[in-house]
Structure 1
């Protein structure tokens, strides 16, 4: 969902794409001191073109940060504005290409067996699919792989199902990652969950006789491939017909409370709800299984938030509000015990901001009880790397996702 300002960036050509050069870009962290500072959003909308600044985090409460990523030319203008308005901010300018190439340039690792993939690697889309295929061959008695559609660029989309017996009426616990292309840790976290289930299958055997786990590791394959091969900060899908610089934000393309009244490139919602192949095929799975799905977690990055509906309004609570907040706090407490990471829990619109056409609200509208978005580490006030996760941190963050998943799975099991 990052809009490329072609006037201000240099590009390098790779085999299939133009590689975006992020040298001399700046990262701004702006402190919101009080409610009067909220006017900054309207000011920036007026002062800058929609494609000139990339919000990494949109703080809404006093004490929170607004984090903005911008090119060298835009940064000078933004810095002058912030100084004139006397905002409290810091600015980091450097060649970001080295940081953005982390996780990408590494020695090839070959899978000897189905389960020996590592959890400290951010795998490419093709590697993820090959991992899944290899795992299914080895563990076919409790693991299956299903193709559920094709993307705009004709990449196949898959989910895996973990459980015993072929009873299609079993309750389902579902997780996904990668609806936003640049949030690579969300893809990796689903693989951490999958590997843990496989390596500890005896621990879950009784649960998986009564519940099936569904994992969508990559909801936005085209965007993820492009993020790895061309533009590390790309967010949307790759349908550029009506929004050439950003594509469609799939997490604004679901038909519940969908709106097209926001012209921002990075969160362009598409021509209509479910206009995109990726969200359409995902919704078909949801609609087909809505009576069986008991919980759904969508992993995102970054911020350390455990969020539940509604996203579209602050004025009313979603059904099961008390149960969702209770379970969310259990997740946060268990993560805190694990590595002292502090996750905040609450409804998405109140904790962050209102948004329309989100998968979170759509899934809740289908009547699914435990419905969450989890914004994984690092915390929202991380002032260094944001979406970029060091290899040494991948497994730790993935384990945070695993803890949240486990709390949800056993909560659903306890209610059967």
Structure 2
């Protein structure tokens, strides 16, 4: 009987000590902001169900970093800077040894999540499923899945309809429309929405007033030899060509249209969506300070907007794969066509 009591007492002490140790471990984790579930396991990229959930900005960053760690010969992470609230703006570069560059930009408008999800799908396929895309490894892919991290997080936590950044303006208003903040006829804007800090299309106090647009500017400026840049958006289905600020086409419109038509044909075969191809100013009022126009002005030969057929608030997780497949097929076709067309015209001044 005495032996039993002593045994129970020792067991209780060990159990209590163990619980105390766990409690101290949890407390320590909270103090240094380590997720409790990470204490006793090492995460891999497999732990992120990127096709089943809308990742937070932090989860996206963690997933990208894990990919770069697990596939160092395939991809690398580049920091482009930080948002006004201090969030990282990252690009992942895939197949770095290839000289022909494709740049994809997602989520310039915070609420257009499909730009982010399609970018993430493409990253996953290029890194984890490359055998299914034998032509894709002929290019270096530079992808920024979340160009507007503050705005994106705000749409997750507060207002799903928010489109702008979260920079505090001098008058107390919040945010700038990144698609109006590039130095491409920026000063020509006259609409109340573009000039008023409370407006949905507010252009900012000057071109590149936002750290987010400056980060993208520096990326584009450092890769003026890219053969294709695609700005991924919602509210399609369209493939838009520059210019946004005039109804005149870009000088090399034949090249740009041939590339856009290749994407249209591929995506129509993939998803039976009839994408319209056209100059964006034929479909909407003139816009000033757009990323696509800046891209064209600095000499990148083919700059396009891909708008997929989903509204701002209509995207659900079941859409991630089909929209991702559609974008992957279309952009790969456009990359191949752009490479071919530019090679054919390499002796011409275009």
TM over 0.5: yes
Shift in Å at residue 147 of structure 1?
0.5
Q: Call closer, same or farther: CA 1:225–1:111 in 2, change over 3 Å.
A: farther
Q: Deviations over 1:117-160 (max 9, x none)?
A: 33242211111101101111111101000101111111111000
- Among 186, 202, 206, which residue is 2:115 paired with? 186
- Among 245, 260, 264, which residue is 1:332 paired with? 264
Aligned to 2:44: 113
- Among 280, 284, 294, which residue is 2:214 paired with? 280
- Among 306, 317, 321, which residue is 1:374 paired with? 306
TM-score by length of 1: 0.67
Inter-partner Cα distance in structure 1 for 2:305 and 2:82: 24
Aligned to 1:177: 106
- Among 298, 306, 320, which residue is 2:239 paired with? 306
Q: Call closer, same or farther: CA 1:325–1:144 in 2, change over 3 Å.
A: same
| Residues matched between the structures, number | 297
Shift in Å at residue 326 of structure 1?
2.1
- Among 318, 337, 346, which residue is 1:411 paired with? 337
Contact 1:176-1:215 at 8 Å conserved across structures:
yes
Inter-partner Cα distance in structure 2 for 1:351 and 1:243: 33
Q: Deviations over 1:44-87 (max 9, x none)?
A: xxxxxxxxxxxxxxxxxxxxxxxxxxxxxxxxxxxxxxxxxxxx
Inter-partner Cα distance in structure 1 for 2:273 and 2:135: 31
Inter-partner Cα distance in structure 2 for 1:213 and 1:308: 21
Inter-partner Cα distance in structure 1 for 2:252 and 2:100: 18
Q: Deviations over 1:329-378 (max 9, x none)?
A: 22122212112112111011012231000001000111111110111112
Q: Deviations over 1:369-407 (max 9, x none)?
A: 1110111112xxxxxx64321221221112221122111
Shift in Å at residue 205 of structure 1?
6.4
Inter-partner Cα distance in structure 2 for 1:219 and 1:243: 25
Aligned to 1:201: 130
Contact 1:160-1:215 at 8 Å conserved across structures:
yes
Aligned to 1:140: 72
Please list, as runs of the form range in 1=range in 2, the aligned pairs for 1:69-108 lying within 5 A after superposition: none
Structure 2: gaps of 5 or more residues: 1-36, 194-198, 344-350
Please list, as runs of the form range in 1=range in 2, the aligned pairs for 1:215-294 lying within 5 A after superposition: 215-242=143-170, 244-259=172-187, 260-264=189-193, 265-290=199-224, 292-294=225-227
SS of corresponding position for 1:175: strand
More helix by share: 2
Contact 2:105-2:144 at 8 Å conserved across structures:
yes
Shift in Å at residue 197 of structure 1?
0.9
State whether structure 2 residue 288 is matched by structure 1 residue 356: yes
Q: What is the root-mean-square deviation in Å for CA atoms of aligned residues? A: 2.3
Contact 1:331-1:407 at 8 Å conserved across structures:
yes
Quick check: 229-238 or 337-346, which moved more?
337-346
Inter-partner Cα distance in structure 1 for 2:234 and 2:201: 16
Inter-partner Cα distance in structure 1 for 2:171 and 2:107: 20
Shift in Å at residue 243 of structure 1?
6.3
Shift in Å at residue 236 of structure 1?
0.3
Please list, as runs of the form range in 1=range in 2, the aligned pairs for 1:147-186 lying within 5 A after superposition: 147-165=79-97, 170-186=99-115
Inter-partner Cα distance in structure 2 for 1:220 and 1:164: 25
More strand by share: 1
TM-score by length of 2: 0.79
